[in-house]
Amino acid sequence: MIAPLENLLATAVVVSLPMRVRFRGITVREAVLFRGPAGWGEFSPFVEYDDEEASAWLAAGIEAAWLGPPTPVRAAVEVNATVPAVPAEEVAQILARFPGARTAKVKVAEKGQRLEDDVARVAAVRELVEKVRVDANGGWTVDEAVTAIGALGDLEYVEQPCRTIDELARVRRAVATPIAADESIRKADDPLRVVAADAADIAVVKVAPLGGMRRVLALAEQIPLPIVVSSALDTAVGIGAGVATAAALPRLDHACGLGTGALFVDDVTADPFVPTDAMLSPRRVEVSDPPRADPARQRWWLDRLRRCYALVADAGNTPV
Ligand SMILES: O=C(O)CCC(=O)C1=CC=C[C@@H](O)[C@@H]1C(=O)O
Ligand SMILES: [Mg+2]
């Protein structure tokens, strides 16, 4: 059984959210939101993803709208500040959007920048937030990673320093700083290979690319590593699914990357997720008067939704 396509399309809203600052090359975040019996769901694979990769995001949206959240085991989850690859002078302005954050994740290894830029940005963050982690999005070679980690000072962990699992394992053997895997889990045919290869100390998981809240909880059960639930730069609807998942994990030792709503100028609800003392609590999100995409982009997204729906339905392992 799968939620009928007509029901998805009948409530679908294509939104377009301007960002305060460029993040992973994006200045406007687009998404389709739809409503089911359990609430709102989000479909927002990044535009360059092919339909197969994008269809996991649709399964996640359908799960949210038709099944709703899993049962929480905690009332609130800590979130980190997220600092894009901005010049060091702009760090304070970004961190002002994350009042009370005790952990910051800083983007590093951005194309076109140098290690000095990363060192300066991380130093500027460290002056304002006590615990710092960095995310290289696979941008370093093994040697570059070892050099950079030596230059960046004390870090909670380094997320995806290199592209491959083998490279992650080599960096992990060469440095004392913990290594976190992100793309090596969410883009892998086998998310458990990271564990078999001893390539990471921490697993970063994202609800939409991994196909939903329950799939993330099932995966977390199989991964014997501390878990960090992170956003996929989702609207408040997707953030709601991330917070619900983090709140349902049996164990949660690290701040989660679910504060990215602060990077948007506007969100899709009158009541977006705004951390109190760096904590977010799971709750239902009601979409109200979201900024809409223009008609051409609406058509593009609804066509994509239809194609991905066919893939989800064919795969036969739908959440609903
Ligand atoms: O983890 C965070 O603090 C925020 C989320 C985040 O960094 C990301 C969200 C979406 C796309 C990714 O490039 C990026 C990541 O790589 O973790
Ligand atoms: Mg990452």
> Per residue in 102-123, pLDDT tens?
999 999 999 999 999 999 999 9
Q: Is the CB of 207 under 6 A from ligand 1?
A: no
Ligand 1 centroid vs 206 CA: distance in angstroms?
9
Task: Reply yes or no on whether 111 is catalytic.
Answer: no
**Distance of alpha carbon 70 from the chain centroid:** 18
Residue 2 confidence (pLDDT): 77
Residue with the smallest CA separation from ligand 1 atom 10 is 232
* Pair 303, 239 in one domain: no
Q: What is the pLDDT of residues 238-269, one digit of tens each?
A: 999 999 999 999 999 999 999 999 999 999 99
Q: What is the pLDDT of residues 65-85, one digit of tens each?
A: 999 999 999 999 999 999 999
How large is the average pLDDT for residues 128-152? 98
Of all ligands present, the nearest one to the C-alpha of 132 is 1
User: Which CATH number belongs to the domain containing residue 44 in this structure?
Assistant: 3.30.390.10
Of all ligands present, the nearest one to the C-alpha of 238 is 1
Give, to the nearest 10 degrees, the angle between helix 51-66 and helix 236-248: 70
Threshold 0.95, pTM exceeds: yes
Residue 316 confidence (pLDDT): 73
Considering the candidates 105, 111, 131, 206, report the single residue annotated as catalytic: 206
Here the tokens at position 302 are 């609804």
Name which of 285, 126, 128, 147 is nearest 136 in CA terms.
147
Task: Reply yes or no on whether 206 is catalytic.
Answer: yes
Residue 319 confidence (pLDDT): 66
Asked whether residue 232 is domain-assigned, the answer is yes
The chain-wide mean pLDDT, for the chain, equals: 96
* Pair 81, 218 in one domain: yes
* Pair 173, 198 in one domain: yes
Residue with the smallest CA separation from ligand 1 atom 8 is 232
Name which of 157, 130, 137, 302 is nearest 206 in CA terms.
137
Q: What is the pLDDT of residues 266-317, one digit of tens each?
A: 999 999 999 999 999 999 999 999 999 999 999 999 999 999 999 999 887 6
Which of 207, 230, 235, 280 should be mutated for ligand 1, with most atoms under 8 A from CB? 230
* Pair 209, 86 in one domain: yes
Is 135 annotated to bind a ligand? Reply is yes
Residue 189 pLDDT class (50, 70, 90 cuts):
confident
* Structural domain range at position 186: 77-280
Asked whether residue 253 is domain-assigned, the answer is yes
Ligand 2 centroid vs 289 CA: distance in angstroms?
30
Ligand 1 centroid vs 10 CA: distance in angstroms?
31
Cite the DSSP H helix spans in the chain.
Answer: 5-11, 51-66, 91-95, 115-126, 142-152, 165-174, 183-186, 193-196, 213-222, 236-248, 295-315
Ligand 2 centroid vs 6 CA: distance in angstroms?
34
Count of domains forming the chain: 2
Is 182 annotated to bind a ligand? Reply is yes
Residue the block writes with tokens 């709503």: 261
Asked whether residue 19 is domain-assigned, the answer is yes
